[in-house]
Amino acid sequence: MPGVDDLEALRAVNQRYYEAFEASDLDAMSEVWERSERALCTHPGWSMLRGWGHIAASFMALFQSPGTLQFVLTELQPVVQGDVGWVSLDENLLGDDSGITVAVINLFTRRRDGWQMVAHHGSVVQATVGQMG
């Protein structure tokens, strides 16, 4: 069973991901991610990106777009299984003109120097369970 320290460390690196995103800070973002060819990222509405080079380029493009984004994270649930951890959550994105909710899974691997993100998958929420019938 994972310790409290494992879960807190996982929460902390997950939070650093969102802080880097809000700050449009590619250097901070690259500290969160595993910089390898096995890294995967699916931004809402995008095709899957494979490898840190493609992922970094996507963040560079996102960071250069006009406007600001704020993330309000809800339903955050960290899980640790050995040297793998993931955080499921809802990103409630507030932009200059509107807001959306994105259901997310962030996957991390434990390294000697801490957790690193190896995969991010986000999907725009179209309906809640109560609206499905």
Cα 17 to Cα 104: distance, rounded to the nearest angstrom? 13
Listing DSSP states for 39-80 in one string gives: -EEE-TTSPPEESHHHHHHHHHHHHHSSS--EEEEEEEEEEE
Confidence of residue 1 (pLDDT cuts 50, 70, 90): low
- Mean pLDDT across the chain, nearest whole number? 92
Q: What pLDDT, on a 0 to 100 scale, did the predictor assign at position 16?
A: 98
Structure-block tokens of residue 49: 């990106």
pLDDT tens digits along 46-103: 999 999 999 999 999 999 988 888 999 999 999 999 999 999 999 999 887 778 999 9
Q: What pLDDT, on a 0 to 100 scale, did the predictor assign at position 103?
A: 97
